[in-house]
């Protein structure tokens, strides 16, 4: 912002605002969340179709899990085939603790803590088992959790009903009321923005650099005092916490928790979101969730039927083979191309001047 606006006060404010946004990514995430809230409002008052609301609710859930998985896949070079299972831990855990008569906030916290404990155990496992063996072991974990969800009576067999949720001890929200459902949606959008900020804070810190150190060059990381064990446990714990938060939001918004949904295929969908959205990108996770889940739910389903798995699978493979940086990188490449083009044109101008 070098040129000073003189005539217009409004422009001055706008410029100050633009600088603020540019300097502070946190503000960007907050604005992003608020735009989503507005979007939810429009769809709840009928300007946009109302089913957009529930599609975007699921996109938000996927975005949060993908942010966590990205810390593993993109930053720490670790793979997990159990991310969907941990959404289940979050959702079903919240339900079970609510059934015990605990307030929602405590139930959610306990569900997240339980997931984090299991996550740290996987992290411990990953210190011994790395590379391609790790995927296989997380598959076992997912299978164990699936058996537990579907077999234990306290999870209610097919699904665990939660019903109206009471927040902060007085705010009752039911998904059956259109207005209240919008409030639930707004809470999710804001939580997503907060999780984006948390991700940003982690990756721009000593911990984020350590995650990249252990995955890109484990030897030098060790020589600089970065313990692979500690950071693998940390990465897995954080990733499961993200998934469990998404699960809590699931319980909050849908007000029930199914038991059979948290299997391998949904974990694969989340992997596809991270890959398609772009390793190491924050907005990319939302973009990926929108492309993988949103496009097939909003458009493809009507045209072609349920092609979401085929669509995600093909996209996943195509992106890995031909554009491994992910869709979020496209605008960087476009900008590069633009500058290249501009530069070339200028060069031509120079030549013209000389002749």
Partner 1 sequence: MKHDDYVLKLDNVTMRFGGLTAVNGLSFSIKPKEIVGLIGPNGAGKTTIFNCVTQFYDTYEGAISFKNDEGSVNLKDHKVTEVIDLGIARTFQNIELVPDLSVLDNIMIGAHNTFKTGVVQHIFRTPKAKAEEKAIREKAVEALKFMHIDHLKDQFAGGQPYGVQKKIEIARTLMSNPKLIILDEPAAGLNDNETDELEALIHRIRDEYGASILLIEHDMGFVMEICDRVCAINFGQFLAMDTPKKIQNHPDVQEAYLGKEE
Partner 2 sequence: MDNFLSILFNSLQTGSVYALAALAIVLIFRTSKTTNFAQGSIGTLNAYVGALVLSSWGWSIWAVAPVSILTAFLTGVLIDTFIIRPAAKVNRIAKQIITLGLIMIITGITPFLFGVDPYQLPRFIPSGSVDVLGASLRFNTVFTVLISLVLMGAIFWFIQKTKWGLAIRVTASNEVTSKLMGVPTKTVTMMSWATAAMLGTLAALIIAPSGSVNPNMMFNVQVSAFFAGVFGGFQTFYGPVLAAFIIAFARNTTAFYVTDIWGDVLVYMVILVFLFFKPYGIFGKAPVKKV
299 binds partner 2 (CB under 8 A): no
CB 246 within 8 A of CB 191: no
**Residue 234 binding partner per list partner 1, partner 2, none, with a CB distance cut-off of 5 to 8 Å that depends on partner kind:** partner 1
165-167 and 159-161 beta bridge pairing? unpaired
Best CA proximity match to 290, nearest among 307, 310, 308, 268: 308
> Within positions 323 to 352, which residues make up the interface with partner 2, using CB under 8 A?
324
CB-neighbour burial class of residue 313 (10 A; exposed 0-12, middle 13-18, buried 19+): middle
240 binds partner 1 (CB under 8 A): no
The binder of partner 1 chosen from 60, 73, 160, 234 (CB under 8 A): 234
CB of 76 to partner 1, least distance (A): 12
What the block records as the tokens of 110 is 């306990």
The binder of partner 1 chosen from 23, 216, 301, 344 (CB under 8 A): 216
**Residue 225 binding partner per list partner 2, partner 1, none, with a CB distance cut-off of 5 to 8 Å that depends on partner kind:** partner 1
CB of 84 to partner 2, least distance (A): 13
CA distance 144 to 84: 13
Nearer to partner 1, 141 or 214 (CB): 214
The binder of partner 2 chosen from 13, 20, 113, 151 (CB under 8 A): 151
CB 198 within 8 A of CB 64: no
CA distance 188 to 183: 9
209 binds partner 1 (CB under 8 A): yes
**CB 94: neighbour CB atoms within 10 A?**
30
154 binds partner 2 (CB under 8 A): no
The binder of partner 1 chosen from 192, 212, 246, 319 (CB under 8 A): 212
317 binds partner 2 (CB under 8 A): yes
Residue 213: C-alpha distances to residues 75, 129, 275 (Å): 9, 18, 20
CB 312 within 8 A of CB 270: no
280 binds partner 1 (CB under 8 A): yes
Q: DSSP characters for 158-221?
A: TEEE--SEEETTTEEE-TTSHHHHHHHHHHHHHHHHHHHHHHHHHHTSHHHHHHHHHHH-HHHH
CB 160 within 8 A of CB 257: yes
CA dihedral 38→39→40→44, nearest 10 degrees, is 100
**Residue 205 binding partner per list partner 1, partner 2, none, with a CB distance cut-off of 5 to 8 Å that depends on partner kind:** partner 1
Nearer to partner 1, 37 or 202 (CB): 202
CB of 58 to partner 2, least distance (A): 17
Among 11-19, 45-53, 315-323, 339-347, the segment contacting partner 2 (CB under 8 A) = 315-323
Best CA proximity match to 235, nearest among 79, 2, 94: 79
Nearer to partner 1, 49 or 324 (CB): 324
Residues that bind partner 2 (CB under 8 A): 73, 77, 79, 81, 124-125, 128-133, 135-137, 139-141, 143-144, 147-148, 151, 219, 264-265, 268-269, 271-272, 275, 305-314, 316-317, 320-321, 324
Residues that bind partner 1 (CB under 8 A): 198, 201-202, 205-210, 212-213, 216-217, 219-227, 234, 238, 280
């Amino acid at each position: 912002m070098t040129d000073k606006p003189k005539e217009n006060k409004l422009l001055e404010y706008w410029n100050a605002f633009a600088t603020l946004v540019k300097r502070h990514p946190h503000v960007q995430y907050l604005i992003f969340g608020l735009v989503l809230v507005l979007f939810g409002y429009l769809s709840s008052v009928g300007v946009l179709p109302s089913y957009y609301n529930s599609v975007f609710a699921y996109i938000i859930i996927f975005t949060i899990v993908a942010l966590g998985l990205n810390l593993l896949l993109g930053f720490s070079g670790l793979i997990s085939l159990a991310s969907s299972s941990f959404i289940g831990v979050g959702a079903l855990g919240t339900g079970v603790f609510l059934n015990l008569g605990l307030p929602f906030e405590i139930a959610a916290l306990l569900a997240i803590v339980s997931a984090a404990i299991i996550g740290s155990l996987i992290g411990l496992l990953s210190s011994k088992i790395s590379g391609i063996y790790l995927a296989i072991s997380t598959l076992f974990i997912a299978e164990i959790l699936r058996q537990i969800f579907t077999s234990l009576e306290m999870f209610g067999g097919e699904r665990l009903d939660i019903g109206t949720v009471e927040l902060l001890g007085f705010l009752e929200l039911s998904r059956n009321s259109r207005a209240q459902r919008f409030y639930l949606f707004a809470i999710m959008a804001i939580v997503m923005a907060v999780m984006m900020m948390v991700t940003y804070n982690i990756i721009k810190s000593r911990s984020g650099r350590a995650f990249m150190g252990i995955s890109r060059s484990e030897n030098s990381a060790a020589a600089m005092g970065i313990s692979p064990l500690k950071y693998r446990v940390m990465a897995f714990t954080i990733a499961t916490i993200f998934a469990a938060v998404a699960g809590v939001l699931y319980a909050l918004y849908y007000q029930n928790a199914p038991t059979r949904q948290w299997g391998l295929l949904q974990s694969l969908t989340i992997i596809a979101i991270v890959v398609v959205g772009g390793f190491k990108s924050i907005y990319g996770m939302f973009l990926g969730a929108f492309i993988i889940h949103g496009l097939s739910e909003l458009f493809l389903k009507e045209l072609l039927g349920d092609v979401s798995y085929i669509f995600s699978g093909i996209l996943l493979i195509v992106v890995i083979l031909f554009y491994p940086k992910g869709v979020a990188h496209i605008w960087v490449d476009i900008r590069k191309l633009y500058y290249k083009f501009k530069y070339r044109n200028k060069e031509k101008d120079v030549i013209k001047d000389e002749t």
